[in-house]
Amino acid sequence: MKPVVGQRIAEEPCQECLVGFGPEKIRQDFPALRVTVHGKPLVYLDNAATTQKPQAVLDAVVRYYTQENSNVHRGVHFLSQVATQAYDGARTRVRRFLNAAHDHEIVFTRGTTDGINLVAQSYGRKYLRAGDEVIVTAMEHHSNIVPWQMICDEKRANLKVVPITDAGELRLDEYERMLSDRTRLVAAVHVSNALGTVNPVREMIALAHARGVPVLVDGAQSVSHAPVDVQALDCDFYAFSGHKLFGPTGIGVLYGKAELLEAMPPYQGGGDMISAVTFEKTLYNTLPYKFEAGTPHIAGVVGLAAAIEYVERIGRKQIAAYEADLLAYGTELLSAIPGLRLIGTAKDKAGVLSFVMDGIHAHDIGTILDMEGVAVRAGHHCAMPVMKRFGVPATARASVAFYNTRADMDALAKAIHKAIEVFA
Ligand code: PMP
């Protein structure tokens, strides 16, 4: 089976994929994993918030600024051409990474949030009318809720929310029922950052397309965990962030099908997004530049390309298989801790362990774990509706990457036991 996210990656890890996979060796590539925290070796389990960067990414960014720094698409001089080649070459790498059909379907953004806002402000503003509907799920990150609320308010359209089960799984039956001739767009998260749920996006997209409705997928948490093929998914838009994929902050990608992007107006105006300007009228540039106003984050793009190259060298099938094993191990350890309740127990899950504990607030867990060198997230994870759905103010969340090990999971469990002792 081709392990595309959304196809039960957690259930069917590819065991042969793990042959030759060496997290200990991989860890050497990440300088930040060598730091100590409160005198203890860092156990970094906050990868859903952001990932650490391999030396190859750091080197690519330094090389760019030391040897290639110049603006793109503007100069005839040597360095400008080098920078332009690096920038446009990175687009091809991203296109291959997502298996998109064309380079011009890849728009560089500031991140997932920026990509979703682009679609809301461009596609949403053009096509939404009063009484229309946009469908999101109950497990969205705020960045896939608020942009839709803003444009729906402006257009007097309605936001519909697909409910989830107590395990944190999408109610596909309800989703199907909610699709109607008023639905103009579906915006759904691929992998939930708060619960780890892998949504059946392929089925969701097929159901929406049967009614002519386009689908945006929030891929912030999926690209770093398993292969994603936008043509196989047949999604209309796919957004992700470089910093969650071992690349720099401030850079991201919006994939969009060419015919949709062609029909959409620019989101922002400025340099590079035009082909001709007079005070009477401006002609816009072709794709993807129409959506890339101003000097882009060139160093970020270069770093993102290096991150993708690094991830591809390890292999996304290997990553998916390794993390599925790590998640199973961590789930077993944490489930055995008295008074601990996992929030998010979907059958298809990526490497997120979100939990609450009897009598200990999530922030206190986070603080005690930190004293042990274990970095987890504590809070609402920018998914307040998820917290409300499960009746908790916050959770503690450990989230894994391919450089984490079973020893990290052991350290997590040990630190949780310490928290229990402190609060006993
Ligand atoms: N969606 C999901 C599922 C996320 O986890 C995040 C980041 N936590 C975002 C969107 C937003 O990403 P960014 O802040 O990089 O734009």
Q: Which ligand 1 atom lies nearest to the CA of residue 110?
A: 16
Asked whether the domain spanning 58-312 has the same topology as the one spanning 15-53+316-422, the reply is no
Residues 6+ apart with CB under 8 A from 85: none
Q: Which residues line ligand 1 (CB under 6 A)?
A: 48, 111-113, 141, 143-144, 189, 193, 218, 220-221, 241, 382
Looking at the predicted structure, is the pLDDT value of residue 10 above 70?
no
Looking at the predicted structure, is the pLDDT value of residue 151 above 80?
yes
Tokens of 166: 């107590």
- Average model confidence (pLDDT) across the chain: 95
The pLDDT of residue 13: 52
More confidently predicted of 423 and 114: 114
Q: Average pLDDT, stretch 306-316?
A: 96
- Given a contact cutoff of 8 angstroms between Cβ atoms, the answer to whether 340 and 347 are in contact is no
Q: Average pLDDT, stretch 167-176?
A: 98
Looking at the predicted structure, is the pLDDT value of residue 7 above 50?
no
Give pLDDT tens digits for 122-144. 999 999 999 999 999 999 999 99
State how far the Cα of 377 lies from the Cα of 351, in Å rounded to an integer.
14
Give pLDDT tens digits for 16-28. 777 778 899 999 9
17 a catalytic residue: no
The pLDDT of residue 21: 81
State how far the Cα of 167 lies from the Cα of 343, in Å rounded to an integer.
8
Q: How close is the Cα of 342 to the center of ligand 1, in Å?
A: 21
State how far the Cα of 216 lies from the Cα of 187, in Å rounded to an integer.
5
The pLDDT of residue 271: 93
Residue nearest to atom 5 of ligand 1 (CA): 193
Looking at the predicted structure, is the pLDDT value of residue 405 above 80?
yes
- Architecture, CATH, for domain 15-53+316-422: Alpha-Beta Complex (3.90)
Q: How close is the Cα of 225 to the center of ligand 1, in Å?
A: 14
- Look at domain 58-312 and name its CATH class: alpha beta
Task: Find the angle CA(294)-CA(300)-CA(306) to the nearest 5 degrees.
Answer: 140
- Domain range annotation of the chain: 15-53+316-422, 58-312
Q: Average pLDDT, stretch 335-339?
A: 97
Give pLDDT tens digits for 215-271. 999 999 999 998 999 999 999 999 999 999 999 999 999 999 999 999 999 999 999
Strand 282-284 vs strand 40-41: parallel, antiparallel, or unpaired? unpaired
**Residue 272 CA, distance from chain mean position:** 27
Map residue 371 onto helix, strand or coil: helix
Q: How close is the Cα of 189 to the center of ligand 1, in Å?
A: 10
